Homo-oligomer: A and B are copies of this chain.
Amino acid sequence: MSIQYIAELAGTYFFAISGVLATDDDDRNWFGASFTGFITAIGGGSVRDVLLGSYPLVWIGDVNFLYAILFGVITSLAFFNLVIKLRRLMLLFDMAGIALFTIVGVEKSLSLGARPEVAAIMGVFTAVMGGVIRDTLTHKKPIIFSKEVYATACLAEQSFT
């Protein structure tokens, strides 16, 4: 397993955790939390692959991503209070995930023959679309309007090009 592959699994794991943490205390049940965690983790890559028509989607073709998500959901439900305390640390991992998946999205799109302009957009979609769906589901202000996120995605794209 390459370092990038492990990093992608780790990023998926942290995205799933961020999904579970976004659910309100009153609403949190294992089904809703799992659903939110899951859709946060697969959202960005799925939107990218569907827009590009690249089948099978990553998590459908490679079951390891499902286990990374399941592991993330279980971690955050089982150790909820601990994970909440580490929220700031989690945010760091989220930012790292956004930077990573921006680059992954750009790379994959270019390798599928997309133009650089399209690849740049796909990088952003891969990185933030999961969070956008998560915030919509849980009625939060969408992640794209937060300053940290665009700075991160931005830096990732600049460092890539």
Q: What residues make up the interface of A, taking CB atoms closer than 8 Å to B?
A: 23-24, 27-32, 35-36, 38, 46, 50-53, 55-57, 59-60, 63, 66, 114-115, 117-118, 121, 124, 128, 132, 136-137, 141-142, 144-145, 147, 149-150, 153-154
Contact = CB atoms under 8 A, between A and B. Distances in A.
Nearest to A147: B29
22 contacts: A27-B145, A29-B147, A29-B150, A31-B149, A31-B154, A32-B142, A32-B150, A35-B128, A35-B144, A51-B57, A52-B60, A53-B55, A53-B56, A59-B118, A60-B114, A60-B115, A63-B115, A66-B117, A66-B118, A132-B137, A136-B136, A136-B137
Contacts of A136: 136-137
A1 to B, nearest CB: 20
A153 B132 CA distance: 25
Given A29-B147, A31-B144, A60-B118, 6 more contacts: A32-B142, A35-B124, A50-B50, A52-B56, A59-B118, A66-B118
A84 to B, nearest CB: 19
Number of copies of this kind of chain in the complex: 3
Contacts of A36: 144
Contacts of A153: 31
A32 B145 contact: yes
A154 B35 CA distance: 13
A38 B32 CA distance: 24
A31 B38 CA distance: 25
